[in-house]
A and B are shown apart, each in its own frame.
Chain A
Amino acid sequence: MSATTIKDVASGEKADVPPKLSYWAENLRLLGGLLAIWFTVSFGFGILLRDLLDNFSILGVPAGFWFAQQGSIYVFIALIFYYSRAIHKIEQKHGVDDDEEGASS
């Protein structure tokens, strides 16, 4: 919120820019976190750390193999739905959501 007020003062007449800027910064932070998870479960657990994880087992399958063939896919789905919900909250906070848009033209 404080970032908004500082930018508000700085940008003068273009009052719609500051909420967009802070919205974008929050979006980038969220994306960074989610992409880190995306990378970890697939390239990390499924490929690079695979031999280590294979010492454990998930649902009867060596954990590294499980992440490479099934587990990472479950996490991918969760990531997309989480992002969809989280970014919508951020949009509403900054007043840039598309809730008012019609179903189609």
Chain B
Amino acid sequence: MSAQLLTYIFVGLSFALYIGIAIWSRAGSTKEFYVAGGGVHPVANGMATAADWMSAASFISMAGIVAFAGYDGSVYLMGWTGGYVLLALLLAPYLRKFGKFTVPDFIGDRYYSKAARLVAVVCLIVISFTYVAGQMRGVGVVFSRFLDVNIEMGVLIGMGVVFFYAVLGGMKGITYTQVAQYCVLIFAFMVPAVFLSFMVTGNPIPMLAIGSEVGDTGMTVLQRLDQSLVDLGFGKYTEGTKSTIDVFAITMALMVGTAGLPHVIVRFFTVPKVSDARKSAGYALVFIALLYVTVPAVASIGRLNFINTVNETSYDGSALAAETTPDFFKSYEDIGLYAYEDKNGDGIIQYGPGAAFQGGKPQFTGDRGPLGNRLTSNADPAVANEVYADRDTLVLVNPEMANLPAWVIALMAAGGIAAALSTAAGLLLVISSAVSHDLLKKTVMPTITDKQELWAARGAAVVAIGIAGYFGINPPGFVAQVVALAFGLAACSLFPAIMMGIFTKRMNKEGAIAGMVAGLLFTILYIGTFKFGWFGDIPNTADNWLFGISPEGIGTIGMVINFATAFTVAAFTAKTPEDVKAMVEQIRVPSGAGAAHTH
């Protein structure tokens, strides 16, 4: 059977499974819609959290980034897992004890203020939309590569599936579909990893691959990769290019940002009791770690295979001295993700350091050269490297480079779509509950009934899917840049506000609001300065950065500013009311939690 047909079958089966689960677990009340009734088993919730968390970025992009950034890629591996320690130790159990539906709920009640609730709603919506646009795009890319439909059609199909189970099932539907999606995505990620690891090192356990010997060369995968890269003129894989302070700041911003992301936090409202919230965070990290500790193997073997299969190959197969360039290179070239310009006219691909094309990405002229490759207009003659390769393709191309069977490639498509859909659904849910619960029920129309609120939540989910789909089809140029913004925002606004709300009784509404606003303003202005050129043409380079910290890591400084501002303002303003202090006392002990309140 062809890879194409297998892909249709795998993706079709997985969609049927998700829709079946959605019908079985429809939501009948706001409590089921927002927090799945508060009765989800901690292991199931851990799996759902893992699927919720691992987006198209984790599944498709992360190994590619690590493959091409080497040690610098560690910031994502540590940053996106270490946040769960903060979540389990500092936030999740107390928020579960608080027992409401949303993150703005907590901030609004704890800081006895509608203004604080609204600031939280704004943060939540900006963070979540940033994310969801990327997910929809991810669905579109996977569809267009594997199912031979255009990206627009792919996004529409994805929207339809998410619509079905998110609007119908709410949190309850999403939770159980995410459990299924986790199983699909982790299986899809692990199978090629095991194959690759076994083929290269003889050891099928991918977690051990980077330190295992390649064949009988006497060198480990890492040593071999370091040597290959140095031979080609690259820096070593195991040595990064980022400064230590920048690596530190980015890792911190990603960890704290992870712990402050609303769609992750809200998952811990769904378990029956406080101790379950802690355990559930532990299970979530186990399920996430399974993929994350496999990434170093997929990344390093993928990079090694990329060099071996592409470098010094004859594009049209006519050069006798070289092997023929593999087909996967040409199929990705056809969709513009790879490019080759024969700068020295020898018909052989030379791969090396530096950007082969001016401005980074190739601009295709629409014509093909004598070799059959797509011609470009912006090749940089000063750089010897002749190859452009989009980093995001590495995971998808890995099975093809290693000549794995067609069903493994089909599995990758189903896994990538599962990762993107599960995250998109979780994000859409927090957006819709922020609108129907925090804006409508808690601010504008407090008198609506539970049934009306449930319909409002469904309506908000429909609108949110529409907007997300629009961004998926017409991606704003800033999607790649604003991922930094999403983590920075969560790190500098929501995390400090929630943490101080639990751990310092004297933190009052003035302090918390001033802290969030100061942290947000600083972080947004800094990112705007370097990513969007708000204050003229200031180059985004280390010489211009504050303390040498890049916009990706600036959320760490934003967080420090938030804490400092909040404590200073709180010291000079009215004390926290006694009833709020009593509420904090209640949150701190696990006993007497019950299920999530219905108000």
Contact = CB atoms under 8 A, between A and B. Distances in A.
A104 B278 CA distance: 17
B285 A80 contact: yes
B83 to A, nearest CB: 9
A80 B278 contact: yes
B272 A102 contact: yes
A70 to B, nearest CB: 5
B293 A74 contact: yes
B89 A77 contact: no
Nearest to A57: B211
Contacts of A72: 78, 81-82
A37 B533 CA distance: 40
A98 B238 contact: no
A95 B594 CA distance: 17
B275 to A, nearest CB: 6
Interface residue SS majority, chain A: helix
Interface string B33-77: 000011100000000000000000000000000100001011001
B174 interface: no
Given A24-B588, A97-B590, A101-B594, A76 B252 contact: no
A90 B212 CA distance: 43
B591 A80 contact: no
Interface stretch (B243-251, B323-331, B356-364): B243-251
B286 A104 contact: no
Contact of A101 (B247, B286, B593): B593
A95 B278 CA distance: 18
A88 B73 CA distance: 36
Contact of B81 (A43, A73, A95): A73
Interface string A51-88: 00010011111100110111011101101110110011
B526 interface: no
A35 B293 CA distance: 21
A68 B38 contact: no
Given A72-B82, A96-B590, A88 B275 contact: yes
B40 to A, nearest CB: 9
Contacts of B292: 73
Contact of B222 (A17, A24, A61): A61
Contacts of B89: 31, 34-35, 79-80, 83
Contacts of B247: 47
A97 B591 contact: yes
Contacts of A23: 589
B278 A74 contact: no
A61 B211 contact: yes
Contacts of B81: 72-73, 76
A68 B278 contact: no
Interface string B282-303: 1001100100110110000000
B272 A42 contact: no
Interface of B is mostly: helix
A44 B66 CA distance: 20
A104 B39 contact: yes
Given A35-B89, A88-B275, A104 B78 contact: no
B274 A76 contact: no
A60 B211 contact: yes
B278 A84 contact: yes
Among B71, B207, B255, chain A packs the most CB atoms within 10 A around the CB of B71
A61 B594 CA distance: 48
Contact of B595 (A24, A27, A46, A104): A104
A70 B293 contact: yes
A90 B247 CA distance: 37
Contacts of B211: 57-61, 66
Interface in B78-121: 78, 81-82, 84-86, 88-90
Contacts of A9: none
Nearest to A35: B89
A105 B594 contact: yes
A80 B84 contact: yes
A104 B222 contact: no
B289 A73 contact: yes
Contacts of B590: 91, 96-98
Given A61-B211, A70-B293, A98 B285 contact: no
Interface string B244-280: 1001100110010000000000000000111100110
A103 interface: yes
A101 B273 contact: yes
Given A59-B211, A68-B74, A73 B595 contact: no
Nearest to B248: A47
Contacts of B450: none
Contacts of B591: 91, 95-98, 100-101
B585 A81 contact: no
Contact of B82 (A20, A38, A66): A38
B210 interface: yes
A48 interface: yes
Contacts of A97: 275, 590-591
Contacts of A101: 272-273, 591-594
Contacts of A73: 77-78, 81, 289, 292-293
Contacts of A98: 273-275, 590-593
B251 A69 contact: no
A18 to B, nearest CB: 12
Interface of B: 37-39, 66, 71, 73-74, 77-78, 81-82, 84-86, 88-90, 207-208, 210-213, 220, 222, 238, 244, 247-248, 251-252, 255, 272-275, 278-279, 281-282, 285-286, 289, 292-293, 295-296, 585, 588-595
21 contacts: A24-B588, A24-B589, A38-B85, A43-B252, A46-B251, A48-B248, A60-B213, A60-B222, A65-B222, A69-B73, A69-B296, A70-B207, A70-B296, A74-B293, A80-B89, A80-B281, A84-B275, A91-B591, A96-B591, A98-B274, A98-B591
